[in-house]
Structure 1
Amino acid sequence: MNNLSKKVEILEKALEREKKARKKAEDILEEKSTELYALSEALKTSNQKLSHLLKEKTNQLEDVFTNILDAYVVIDISGYVLTMNDAAIQLLGFDHKKENVNLIELVKPEFKDYTLNAFRTLYEQGTFSNYKAKLLTKNNQERIVQINASIIYDDNGKPIAAQGIARHH
């Protein structure tokens, strides 16, 4: 009988050690979980700050582009002008604030296929440079333009617009 109570005592001590070890593991797990949560929150905040900074920088860049001497145009995915600077308004003779302007429709017929291919390249690769074409202005003047353009993406990486700088040749 003495032998049995000794075994019970050994098992009770082992159980006690196991309980303490489990408690310690749970405490460590809880501490790490709290640290992870805090880190996750810090990253979220940092991400929001970066996102805000990026928006600020984009706005600053837009201000710069609005004031440059070359024609600067932002179009939607279908080619309609969302905004353009004064140089673009003078170049094309259209004012996007007063009328709907579709840049693709201004391209002379013999440059249509080439233009559509250039746009395809733009959407697939994100940029194109040295695209040259003939456009017709509002008062039917022919303009040869060279355009460098890039895609503008939304927060999910989806193309939402294109921006370009056009030089008149």
Structure 2
Amino acid sequence: MQRAVAVVRQVLDQLQFSTRGPGFMRLNEDLNRWIAGTGISLGVLYLTCLHTSASLTINENADPRVLKDLQAWMDAVVPQDGRGPLDGRGQRSRYLHDDEGDDDMPAHIRTALTAQTMTLSVEKGRLVLGTWQAVYLWEHRAIPHQRRLSLHLIGE
């Protein structure tokens, strides 16, 4: 009796994206296109955002109001005005780290509250996601940026 032997392969690459400023960039199509190009049909994708002022999230893909509400919530929790949280006297002072403007430190805080990495299953050469799910790059800076993601796919 002969058994089929699965050959496990891995591919490590980077993709670059141009953001339009604060908000969400849907990645499903770009990620699925990249996965298809590797020839790996079953495996695990390790995705890493290579920046400290942008992050990754999986969220609603059908109703754009969800993303607007998420952005509004983040804007309220971490304002982009360059001033930190209230101190014991009810005062807000400027962040120490503001080298790149008022949105610099708030962008780092937003990233700390979200995710830099995610692990996603791949089946039949595509991401395994729920019907209403999408993978998003979440830009936290006030102006457009070039963002790089590391993609490490392991599978057969």
Say whether the fold is shared (TM-score over 0.5).
no
Structure with max Cα Rg: 1
Structure number having the greater strand percentage: 2
State the TM-score bracket (shorter-chain normalisation): under 0.3
Structure number having the greater helix percentage: 1
